[in-house]
A and B are shown apart, each in its own frame.
Chain A
Amino acid sequence: MSLLRYTVYRLLQAIPVMFGIAVVTFLMVNLAPGDPVDYMISEELASEELIASIEARYGLDEPLWRQFLNYLGFSWFLGLLGVPGFADAPPGLLQGDLGLSMYYDRPVSELMLTRIPPTLMLVLSAYAFALTLAIPLGVVAANRRNKPTDHISRIIALFGVSTPSFWIGIMLIVIFGVWLGILPTGRMVYPWRDPAFYGYGNHLELWYQTLRHLFLPVVALGTLQMAVIMRVERSSMIESLQSEYVQLARAYGVSERTILRKHAFRPSQLPVITLIGLNLTTSLGGAVLIETVFAINGMGRLIVQSIQTLDYQLILGTTIVLGFVFVIGVIITDLAYAYIDPRVTYGEEA
């Protein structure tokens, strides 16, 4: 099977998984106790007419099975086929419509599109931070096992994996933002905006400020990833350095530098790559807290707000999209794994 066919095969396999995610999410959100209209009118003036009006506006007056068909977009198809009762059915998930946010009164897809770039910028920067520190530190720690460098690296890793990222974020804000006053305490400066929007004179200043605003949230979010990757990198490198082929290379008199560079490093990266792919959603989970602490207007904050306001459509939309991201992350990991490791097959033979 070629890489292309394998890719198509994995994508096709993902379709029922994604459908399952949509179904389970819909049922979980709708079968949970509580009523979003109750939330909307809590501590506000309300009347029976207003409640009925809100329910009708968001389709909550329909039976659950009908809401389910509407949300997935089946009703729209049934309307096309002329099935009675579905003539004016709205488009749904299958037509790319994620519905109308009850709290923001705007399309969910529109809200998400504005929130994805900040989150991507944050998560990718955090990954870049994590990788640029974790891989060199992991390699050095493995190469100098049980020496002071290794001990320090392990202490850093232990701190990273055992400290909640939001706490790191708050501490960084207090130290660098409030006490020292050398870095901003929150919010983000986006490099794609006009510098004049922030009152900057040119793009250089804009980019500089983007880096300054990005630094603390990236450290807060990336520390956990850095620690996890460093631990895996170190143990994987140690395993490689103890393998028979490395011992054989040593027996042949190959220098330690060459062994480290040519023979141990490459095979040690497979677990790291797997980890990176699978941790993508963990990072998105971390972004929920970091975006809240640093007031960054990303997907994470949107998810928090959707839950706090019991915005059904928004909870559904964000959860389903994150589920899809996870599935796609797994597929990319599989493909990268198959591409890098010659021992991995595309499924036809051992």
Chain B
Amino acid sequence: MTRKIDTDAMDLLTRRKLLASGVAVSGTVLAGCLDPADDDAEPPEDDDDPAADDDDDEPADDDDEAPSGDQLNFTQQVAPIEWDPVVANDAYSGQIYHTIYDGLYEYQPGDLELEPKLAAEMPEVENDGQRFIVELREEPEFHDGTPVTAEDVIHTFTAPVEEETDNMPDVDMIESAEEIDEHTVQFDLEFVYAPFEAITLPSYIVNAEARQEDPEAYNTENPIGSGPYQFVEAEIGEFADVELWEDYWDEPSQVASIRYEPAEDDAGRVARILGQETHLIEGIPPADWDDLDAEEGIEIASVESTGYLYFAFNCAEGPTADPDVRRAIAHCHSTRDYVEDIFGEAAEWTNMSVAPETADAIGMEGIDHFQDMAYEFDPETAQDLLDGSDAIDEDTQIDIIAPPDDVRVNWGELIADRLGEIGYEAGVQRLDWDVFTSSYQSGDSDEFQLYTLGWTGGADPDVYYYQLFHQDNEGLTQGHYYENDEFHDMIIQARETFEDDERAELYNEIQEIIIEDCVHIPGWTDLNAAAYLSDEVEGLQADLQTTTNPRMDHPDVTLL
């Protein structure tokens, strides 16, 4: 069976109307979308349109989500996903929830100096560093009006293990957390863990009762903290709103509300600040750093981060098991020149396997000391070392693996090129994260001889040296499988020693061994930064940790 169509009727309906409506719609869209600043465009009918007041010289589209009124617009490089610190462990969620919650202790903006926040004073340490007693302030309250008590603190520190959340490794050294009274908590540790005060205690305290009532809602819809801002509403990938909590117990912030919006694309994020559609962006692409810095009306707040980028060798198998081969590879190129060329102001070359600020916090030798120990660019020495090694010949291929990150891949390419120039073969493989991770964790010389990774680090050297070098973490957070009993003992000794001076000495020695045996080629520490509209925002401070960069909870931040 076939079906006939009434062609005459269709003709009447389509052609003329289609053409006419096409012209009309196109014209309307074109005219309607132009900014009122354009003389030929019709302004919107509403006289209250803020755009109508714009100065023609202003390039901004400042009549939509643009900076206006009491709301600060913050553009993030990655979308945040959850609001419960017990569960959340991504830095971009932290950029929001650090305004909603108060920590038991908090770092001062821009450094690693720890100060009590919900705690009344620094903890009392007993039992040779295995017991910490924390007294709480009595005045802090959660956004629902209930006081912050020892029960809330205990829940915050025990829930990650009880619920096996991703934050479990942060607190699993706690043997018990007991309530001494309503405002005092006693922590007993399974072993002496020196970084407990600097790393573990500065946790954000959740409202135990509200959280236990409905953990899922607490994480996604109704987080209740005791911080200067309270959560309003969020749509994942679109926005998250917080507003000032008027009954905040401590010195309040001065911005009435903050809207966080993600823009993952670097160019799009930079365009937003150049177009003045947002008050600030974080995650400044190195290539755009100088241009943004030179732009009138835009300033960059920056501080060295606790991050650390490095190359690690396969120390267990293959040609790089020979320390001379590792030293030769370090000599055959200049990491310092690479970092300076690629990053300029946006990162600092380092020859330490720990962030300089973190090293400084416990009194380790400074960055200059270890920079003096760096393997200088010296192709002749590199060639001599390689020629003299039995572990490698000119037919040996050095396999370098890197995650999908251009900067790290290019660093690998530089090493491969330089090795090629002195007659040794090397190749770089750019791998997806999952494949990359399983490859470097294997420690198999058929998979790699060098891998490059980054580490977000933290406020204590143990976070770097134990996680990135100790044999307990072979196949997990380290894949170099470096063997040196004395070295591993020193790492444990440092984490179980309570005196900073002793720890600093131990870490200095550990760092020197890392350099001498060339386990890592340290790369750089990048800057945590935020570009902001200097005519509209004042008092903004960058912070060392991405989670709190910039410090939006700080009372100095003001919208002009």
Contact = CB atoms under 8 A, between A and B. Distances in A.
Given A135-B22, A177-B275, A50 B168 contact: yes
Interface in B16-40: 16, 18-19, 21-23, 25-26, 29, 32-35, 37-38
Contacts of B274: 178, 185
A292 B44 contact: no
B64 A50 contact: no
B49 interface: yes
Interface string B52-75: 000000111101110011010000
B201 to A, nearest CB: 16
A53 B161 CA distance: 11
A78 interface: no
A79 interface: no
Contacts of A201: 46, 48-49
B42 to A, nearest CB: 10
B277 A184 contact: yes
B22 A186 contact: no
A185 B15 contact: no
B3 A45 contact: no
B44 A295 contact: no
B68 A199 contact: yes
B434 A135 contact: no
Given A186-B271, A208-B32, A111 B61 contact: no
Contacts of A338: 3
B15 to A, nearest CB: 5
A340 B433 contact: no
Interface stretch (A61-69, A244-252, A260-268, A275-283): A260-268
A200 B10 CA distance: 42
Contacts of B236: 104, 106, 111, 114
Nearest to B161: A49
Interface stretch (B116-124, B257-265, B509-517): B257-265
B477 interface: yes
Contact of B1 (A132, A209, A346): A346
Contacts, number: 238
Contact of A132 (B15, B25, B64, B172): B25
A342 B453 CA distance: 64
Q: Which range contains the number of B residues in contact with the other chain?
A: 35 or more
Contacts of B82: 105
B127 interface: no
B164 A53 contact: yes
B14 to A, nearest CB: 8
A65 B18 CA distance: 54
B388 interface: no
Q: Give chain A's interface secondary structure class.
A: helix
Interface string B70-90: 010000000101100001010
A266 B44 CA distance: 39
B302 interface: no
Among A40, A46, A204, A265, the most chain B Cβ lie within 10 Å of the Cβ of A46
B3 A342 contact: yes
A131 B25 CA distance: 11
A205 interface: yes
B7 to A, nearest CB: 6
Interface stretch (A150-158, A211-219, A234-242, A319-327): A211-219
B441 interface: yes
A297 B35 CA distance: 24
B456 A209 contact: no
Interface in B441-457: 441, 453-456
Contacts of B434: 33-36, 38-39, 310
Contact of A184 (B1, B2, B25, B64): B64
A213 B64 contact: yes
Given A34-B434, A36-B434, A266-B10, A43 B237 contact: no
Contact of A209 (B22, B63, B172, B441): B63
Contacts of A50: 164, 166, 168-169
A212 B432 CA distance: 38
A40 B167 CA distance: 12
A183 interface: yes
Contacts of B263: 186-187, 295
Nearest to A218: B29
A255 interface: no
A12 interface: no
B437 interface: yes
Given A131-B22, A189-B64, A342-B5, A43 B267 contact: no
A48 B168 CA distance: 11
B456 A295 contact: no
Contacts of A31: none
A162 interface: no
B35 A212 contact: yes
A42 B89 CA distance: 12
A136 B15 CA distance: 10
A10 interface: no
Contacts of A294: 268
B271 A178 contact: yes
B237 A345 contact: no
Contacts of A184: 61, 64, 275, 277
Contact of B44 (A45, A204, A343): A204
Among A115, A135, A180, A184, the most chain B Cβ lie within 10 Å of the Cβ of A184
B467 interface: yes
Contact of B433 (A42, A49, A198, A202): A42
Interface in A54-90: 54, 57
B64 A209 contact: yes
A170 interface: yes
A339 interface: yes
Contacts of A183: 33-35, 61
A268 B68 CA distance: 52
Interface in A17-50: 33-36, 38-50
B435 interface: yes
Given A50-B166, A114-B236, A205-B44, A292 B265 contact: yes
Contact of B49 (A54, A103, A180, A205): A205
Contacts of A189: 64-65
B437 A180 contact: no
B220 interface: yes
A104 B274 CA distance: 31
B11 interface: yes
Among B10, B63, B269, the most chain A Cβ lie within 10 Å of the Cβ of B63
B49 A46 contact: no
A293 B268 contact: yes
Nearest to A267: B7
Contacts of A46: 169, 476-477
Nearest to B22: A132
A104 to B, nearest CB: 5
A301 B264 contact: yes
Given A132-B21, A182-B38, A205-B44, A339 B5 contact: yes
Nearest to B63: A209
Given A46-B477, A50-B168, A114 B2 contact: no
Among A34, A35, A53, A115, the most chain B Cβ lie within 10 Å of the Cβ of A34
Contacts of A53: 164, 168
A291 B132 CA distance: 50
Contacts of A3: 3
Contacts of A297: 235, 237-238
Contact of B168 (A47, A186, A214, A261): A47
Interface in B113-168: 164, 166, 168
Contacts of A114: 235-238
A45 B264 contact: no
Ranked nearest first, the 5 interchain pairs of A and B with the lowest CB-CB distance are A181-B59, A34-B434, A38-B437, A132-B22, A215-B33
18 contacts: A40-B166, A41-B476, A42-B433, A42-B453, A43-B455, A45-B169, A49-B172, A50-B164, A105-B219, A128-B25, A215-B33, A295-B272, A301-B237, A339-B5, A342-B2, A343-B2, A344-B2, A345-B1
